[in-house]
C-alpha cells in the first residue's frame, strides 16, 4: 500500500516560496510544488494567474470568516477539495468549464458535513 505514496517524485513535496502582492502589500506563500501545480490548474480554468487566484481566495476568506489565519493550510485544503470534488463528479473534469460558472450550493449539496460547512438553521 505505501508504495503508492512513497514512489512520489520527491520534487513534488519540495517546498517552494513564491512572492506575491495582496492589494499592493508584498508577502510570500510557501507550499509544496504539487500544491502550486493544482493552484495553477484552478487559476487557468478561470483565466487567472495564480497570484490573482490567491488574492481572490484571500479576499473571499476574509469576507466570510473575518480573518485569513493559517492561509497556507487553507490553500492546501482548497487544492485537495478541488481534486476531491472533481473525483466525486461535482466539478466537471473538463477544464474549459470555469469554476465561476458553477453553482457552489449545487456543487456542495449532499457533501459530508465534515467536508462542508452547510447551512445552519
- Do 99 and 91 contact (CB within 8 A), yes or no? yes
Q: Quick one: pLDDT at residue 82?
A: 97
The DSSP symbol for 22 reads E
Q: What is the pLDDT of residue 17?
A: 97
CA distances for 4 relative to 7, 9, 64, 67, 81, angstroms: 6, 11, 37, 37, 20
Residue ranges in the chain modelled with pLDDT below 50:
120-121
Model pTM? 0.89
The predicted-structure confidence for 77-93, as pLDDT tens digits, reads as follows 999 999 999 999 999 99
What per-residue confidence (pLDDT) applies to 47? 97
Residue ranges of domains in the chain, CATH in brackets = 11-108 (1.10.3990.20)
Amino acid at each position: 500500500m505505501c508504495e503508492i505514496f512513497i514512489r512520489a517524485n520527491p520534487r513534488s513535496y519540495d517546498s517552494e516560496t513564491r512572492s506575491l502582492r495582496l492589494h499592493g502589500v508584498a508577502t510570500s506563500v510557501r507550499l509544496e510544488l504539487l500544491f502550486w501545480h493544482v493552484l495553477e490548474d484552478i487559476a487557468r480554468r478561470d483565466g487567472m494567474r495564480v497570484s490573482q487566484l490567491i488574492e481572490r481566495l484571500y479576499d473571499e476568506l476574509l469576507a466570510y470568516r473575518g480573518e485569513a489565519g493559517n492561509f497556507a493550510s487553507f490553500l492546501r485544503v482548497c487544492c485537495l477539495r478541488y481534486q476531491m470534488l472533481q473525483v466525486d463528479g461535482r466539478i466537471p473534469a473538463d477544464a474549459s468549464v470555469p469554476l465561476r460558472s458553477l453553482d457552489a450550493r449545487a456543487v456542495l449539496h449532499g457533501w459530508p458535513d465534515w467536508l462542508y460547512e452547510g447551512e445552519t438553521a
